Chain A
Amino acid sequence: MARAQELDMAGVEPRQMAADVLRPVQNRPTLAWGFGFGLALFCLLIGAVSWGWQLYIGLGVSGLMWPVMWATYITNFVFWIGIAHSGTLISAILYLFRARFRAAFSRASEAMTIFAIATAGIFPILHLGRAWIFFYVLPYPNQRRLWPNFRSPLVLDVFAISTYFTVSLLFWYLGMVPDFAQIRDRASGWRRTLYGLLSLGWTGSERQVSPYLKLYILLAGLATPLVLSVHTMVSWDFSTSLLPGWHEEIFPPYFVAGAIFSGLAMVLTLVIPLRARFRLQRYITLDHLESLCKLIILTSSILTYSYLTEYFIAWYSGNTYERTAYYLRAFGHYWFPFWLFTVCNCFVPLLFFWRRFRRSILAMFIISILINVGMWVERFTLLVTTLAYSYDPGSWGVYHVQWVEVGILIGSFGWFMTLFLLFVQFAPSLPLGDLHKDILLARRNRQRLAEAALLPESLAARSSP
């Protein structure tokens, strides 16, 4: 069924759309952008100083302790990896499913994916006791014949994340090539050279478009299992361990669902200001956002179901270790984060069952922030409570966040926002080619409706071919 907003696209002129979308690329950055970029750089600086301090003194400056040896750094890692997931989901999986609302935010969410991986990838290095020899985990040829341990989930992570990053980068970059060609054609001077190089000499010739389309669908096909595999492997960091609270077979689907859930929320968080700031409401419509809200309801429900399963199994197994771990997760020292994320992830998204919330930009934005918070806290609770209350009660201990970790968390947002702001300023933030297709589709639909005399009056009046 073609929706009204979708049909509205029929009235969009591609040339006008390109002008709208490429306005930031073609113009000098605005003051607001500069301010935001400066802020992001400042946050990045905070993170860099914090990390430098940690490298200099040792990991003791963090709140990490025995027995909670992983906490915010790995939380950040899992969180950012999770964020990364929706980007590929929207651009690859929805592409395969031919979902029509995909194009509006596929580019932004792909960029989000790349930057989120780039952010997430820092954390496994950053949390190392001896970060300067992180390359020991790589199978690089060396005279000492020392190789990594391929049985370790951490090594699998290295492969999964590097692959995910590479494939996502290819997908993102190759998707932008035709748009770069447009920028190239409109630009002059150094921009022309830069975008000329980036566009690889794209002309839209059928010789290029034909393999390009094939590549796109192949990459989408390759990226789709990758999306599922990456968070699966990240979840193995936990589920291959022995700890009650980590050692669970439900983790892979549960992590993937959670990742997509948080990623969708992050897309909302990023796209809502982007759309307002760059006046893209016409291309990223309320209908599009509403579709995301519906997906959020779905993934939230999967997540809630997973939570319930965890507790059910812990109870049903009769295993004292499991029961203790889950009891203390909810009622131990970390009760507040537990109930916070339960509310944020299980109950708050239910508001989207009401159309009013689905169509209110403000509500969507607030809820998306709450989900982001909830998902971060969920990972935190999952990690920390499990470690704090593992097998031996005599080893139980409570972790507290220290300023260095807060600084590094801020730094990670700074890093992400730096990259994202560079992206919205210097790259096409909407996929012009895909939107063009949507326009053509809308026009055909409109024409078909008009021929059948089914076009609503309001639309007929509004749209002029």
Chain B
Amino acid sequence: MKSPLIQIASAPPAPAAGSAASGGQEAFDPAAGAGVQNRRGFLKSLGLAGAGAALAGCGTGQVEVLPYVVPDARRTPGEPVRFATVCRECPAGCGMLMRVHDGRATKAEGNPDHPLNRGKLCLRGQSALQGLYNPDRFAGPLLRDARGRWQSLSWEAALARLAQEISSVEREGRAAESAWLGGLENGALGALVDDWLRANRYPPRLSYEAYSYDALRLAAAAVFGQPVIPGFDFAPARYLVAFGAEFLETWLSNVEYARQFAAMHSYGHTRHPARFVFAGPRLNLTGANADENWQLEPGAEPLAMFALAELTARRLHRRLDWPAGVQPPAFSAERAAAAARVPLDVIRRAARRLVRHRPSLVLGPGVANDDEQAVFTHLAALRLNQMLGNVGVTVFPDRPHALSAAAWQSQVLDLFGRARRGGVRLLFLHHANPAFHLPAAAGIRAGLERIPFIVSFARQMDETTQSAHLILPDHDPLESWGDYAPRPGLAGLLQPAMRPVFDTRPTGDILLWLARHFRQSLPGAEPQPPVASMLPPSAGVIAGAHPGASGELNDPATLGLGGHPSRLAPAPESPASPNLPSSAAAIPAPEGSNLRSSPNLPQPDPDDALPPAAVTNFDQYLRRRWQSALAPGAAPEEQARIWRRFLAQGVWVAPGAAASPSPRQVASIRASSPMPAGPLVLPLPHPTLAPAAPGPPPPAPPLRLAPAGPAKFRGSGRFTLLLYPSIRFFDGRQANRGWCQEIPDPLSKICWDSYVEIHTAVAQPLGIREGDILRLDSPYGAAEFPAHLANGLHPAVLALEIGQGHANFGRFANQRGDSPGKLLGAQLAGGAWLPGFQIQVAARRLEKRRNLANLQIERQQWDKKIALAVALADADTAAAREPEMRATWYSFHPYPHHRWAMSVDLSSCIGCNACVAACYAENNIPVMGRSACMSHREMAWLRVEVYAGDSRHPPTRMNPDLRFIPIPCQQCDNAPCEYVCPVFAAYHTDEGLNGQVYNRCIGTRYCSNNCIYKVRRFNWFTPQWPAPLDQQMNPDVSVRAKGVMEKCTFCVQRIERAERSAKIDRRPLRDGEIQPACMQTCPTQAIVFGDQKDSRSRVAQLQRRARSYHMFYEENCFPAVNYLKRVKFELNST
């Protein structure tokens, strides 16, 4: 191999090689069914075959070559490039930058230009890579045979099978009995699907989301007249009351809200932090950040909310006027407060503060209790916001969240009800897993079994796809083109960060192929698309510009172009259609380019028999849609330039949209376009909103409040079971990821397990110990879970995390306990069905145990100076100062250039563990598995500990005083780990880092023993990365072998890279230029890194703050990480 070829051994995955080979052979294989071989295709194939032969001749086992005969000027091997894309891990739609090393995506980071997340990502967003490289993904299409076994087949055969099924559905005349159940797609793909469904006269798609916020939407419909999820802005709020909304975890847009919350509540961001009151039966992570906790009985939220609203209205000297159709409670606020068992003066105090500290924000319940009662609570909350003048300041009904377009749960139930009755002929599943989320009692599985043919585009097996008949695996979002609009006026663009890992196809391509196969024309795929359909997705879906969003789809008159049954017959002269999608799968794409096409599919070929400009690929579809919208009527070169800019930026913000884009981002968009801002103005949704949901809102349940006391839930057991969304798994979709399983729940600190939380005071008299298996009985079923004794919940509550209990979701997710869905019912209440994750259950201790992998057992500080707090009044005074010693026999380090240091503001840290996930991704930290975590053998270099108060301020029920403290290596000046190492594997660099030389380490583990922060980890086993997870690894960080100590080094590879580029540019390093992975992703900017020697650097300034202290400073190790005390409202108050 002496030719100027650069071999990228690790870059291309094996399946690509397979398809390369088959692509090469196929051209000569008459049996491949191509039949038509044009000159160009023949030459292409010839070249490929030649390359394949040359490779085979080498016999090196290399799977790919990058022919750098003409090197790409924009690309240096080894230098990572970044692609802007959109995080599709939840409906929030944060902007993401994928760092790509030589064709491998290695790290997900937030897009700093994206106004939602401003460069930050949560734990789940960080784990997107493990979705991409998930070893359980489908490697190709699968067909279920008569005996229920999965047979893999070629794409050609799979597509032919699908086409055959579509034809037969058409022949049977049951097109109207088809259904598309997909994830929330509001961009080009959504439009394409809508067009395609319309062309086939299929019913409109249902955007399935497990958390659809039905109660909030119903309440908004009553208050604002539109069933939409309003936008929220926490930052201006001066007082915040949340009745359970888990806005720091999963609720709507948690990264955005975390940032705003920090701006509002963290002393690190504001000198006048606002108070945060949390009310609910269980203290979740969001509540853990509250200053005041009202521990409500389950079901008491409406009463407490009513009391608060009523008392606030009284203070405002106004009457609380309820919307029409709501029967106001016929009792007083005092009575409601008594029934809710909240001291009246507490509510009164909150009401007083709500009035005094305006603007404020009142939020209703979260997903955890999204039931009939929640409608009232939401309604009262929205009304209260209205009354307090918060609408337009902190609550924006004109800025609806994308989730407003999600299907109502009742629609989903209805679909499966029809399916059970045999009324569904064909079901398309596109990343929807209702069989896992919805209660077993809802009969999803029974419905699925009655459907004659189910096509799933799932990337990996799940509980719903296992009932499918044909699986056409979709690309991962990181391999896909696409777009997503979190709200009107704001859109993000997805572009592939790398070649597909497996032999998958984008769903959009399949639909386009089907349309061509059946000679249908879709609006967006036409050579001359009608301008009206070129609206950006944001405007399209949310503003209801697409007729598909309204309910009149079944009217043939409104059906768009094409779609006559006669046109659905397969065109026999269709040119080699099965051959098309795979013909050039192995063309090496210019991977460094932002502009490469969908890697799996060829560029449109002019020689193709199709009309010259017809769109054959989804990426072309997407591009055409956006180009004409971004610069309608401009010259093609200009359009291409703007498109490139958009690609690089990854985010589009409508000028004038109240999306608060970052200034840099706006400037950049403006600068990119020489045209006046005018052409960029797109039709924005008018503040008066069109109905967004794909169906009329179900009738709201009768909103009546009983004064007797908290609402009673179905069932008769002693406990109220409360299901709460998981910060790690969302609704369970991230459960098959090692990082999400291994990084513990921030509060329970348990990983790899499902468990039921029970209050300690309840458990102990019953003889229930941690890990004892409890059997829960509800009217709908029984399930068994190990018990976890906790204090943050009401004694009448048992709490379960949603997201575990998968039966068929891959190696990391399976066998993680029982499914909570067994316990829930699915009855319609007053015509609407709301998830209602609350139910009465009986609990019984079984004579079984399952030890839980708990990574932090002790929660008390034992009078040690770890996570300290200071009262707000003292925050900047000498009273906040800890006595600091700096005494040593020896001279201090000279540190000729820099002394890297980190500052962590405990006021800002919300304990979300995003930094931990970022650390895992950046530093190739292996996932050890449950049994290893049972014995504390997790490898996290950075951990976030949680403590409840301290010895002087013990936690109370009303002030749990939870403190989260991220603990990376403290990079001590006088590090105790260093001098004990017999072989100098641990040493001090001249920039203040505690270096660890893995090659030198012999594994005495003395350094870990002597580390007073216990931040060093030991490789107990040879670390495992099941393929292709190994492709995620950061090549800048070495992989540690068995028997070696490892630790945080402030991401020394990033320091080195920045120093190198500064040196090349002959400039000093800028403060903030170096961002360790944890700092980079922290949604609340709690972590600041910089040069301590530079007294103007942020970190040096933070170190001079009065509330700065070093953990265990008495030990004279002089750590480089300083913490800023958590600032609390009156520490001792309840």
Contacts and interface: CB of A to CB of B under 8 A. Distances in A.
Q: Do chains A and B touch in the complex (CB under 8 A)?
A: yes
Interface string B859-875: 11111101000000000
What size tier do the contact residues of chain B reach? 35 or more
What size tier do the contact residues of chain A reach? 35 or more
B49 interface: no
23 contacts: A58-B1020, A58-B1043, A60-B932, A65-B937, A66-B938, A66-B1017, A67-B936, A67-B1014, A146-B1000, A149-B979, A149-B984, A152-B982, A240-B980, A243-B1009, A321-B864, A387-B1009, A392-B1012, A393-B860, A393-B864, A393-B947, A395-B856, A397-B857, A397-B935
A130 interface: yes
Contacts of A96: none
Contact of B856 (A133, A155, A394): A394
Contact of B984 (A146, A393, A395, A400): A146
A391 interface: yes
Which of A146, A147, A154 has its CB near the most chain B CB atoms (within 10 A)?
A: A154
Interface string B989-1021: 000000000001111111011101110011111
A129 B938 CA distance: 16
Contacts of A174: none
B42 interface: no
A151 B1008 contact: no
B1112 interface: yes
Given A58-B1043, A392-B864, A130 B982 contact: no
Contact of B979 (A137, A146, A152, A397): A152
A242 interface: yes
Interface of A: 57-60, 63-67, 69-70, 124, 127-131, 133-134, 136-137, 146-149, 151-155, 158, 237, 240-243, 320-321, 324, 387, 390-397, 400
B1022 interface: yes
Contacts of A154: 980, 982, 1004, 1006
Contacts of A127: 1004
Contacts of A391: 864, 1012-1014, 1112, 1115
Nearest to B999: A133
Which of A66, A242, A243 has its CB near the most chain B CB atoms (within 10 A)?
A: A66
A155 B979 CA distance: 11
A387 to B, nearest CB: 6
B858 interface: yes
The 3 tightest CB contacts between A and B, nearest first, are A129-B1003, A129-B1043, A60-B1020
A124 B1001 CA distance: 14
A248 to B, nearest CB: 14
Nearest to B1014: A395
B1045 interface: yes
A324 B862 contact: yes
Which of B937, B1012, B1112 has its CB near the most chain A CB atoms (within 10 A)?
A: B1012
Nearest to A152: B982
A100 B932 CA distance: 57
A241 B1014 CA distance: 13
Nearest to A63: B935
B1014 A128 contact: no
Which of B864, B1004, B1018, B1115 has its CB near the most chain A CB atoms (within 10 A)?
A: B1004
Contact of A66 (B936, B976, B1022): B936
A152 B1001 contact: no
A241 B935 CA distance: 24
Contact of B1045 (A129, A131, A243, A396): A129
B982 A59 contact: no
B440 interface: no
A242 B976 contact: yes
B984 A130 contact: no
B53 interface: no
Contact of A129 (B861, B864, B1001, B1010): B1001
A13 to B, nearest CB: 54
Contacts of B40: none
Given A64-B1020, A128-B1003, 9 more contacts: A130-B1001, A130-B1002, A131-B1043, A148-B984, A149-B979, A243-B1009, A324-B862, A387-B1009, A394-B946
A83 B139 CA distance: 62
Contacts of A395: 856, 1013-1014
B983 interface: yes
Given A155-B982, A394-B945, A133 B866 contact: no
Contacts of A400: 935
Contacts of B863: 320, 324
Contacts of B1117: 242
A128 B864 contact: no
B1078 to A, nearest CB: 17
A136 B999 CA distance: 11
B319 interface: no
A152 B864 contact: no
A130 B982 CA distance: 13
A59 B1003 contact: yes
Contacts of B932: 60
A397 B943 CA distance: 15
B692 interface: no
B865 to A, nearest CB: 9
Contact of A396 (B857, B943, B1004, B1044): B857
A204 B370 CA distance: 99
B1042 interface: yes
Contacts of B1021: 57-58, 60
Given A65-B936, A153-B980, A154-B1006, A130 B1043 contact: yes
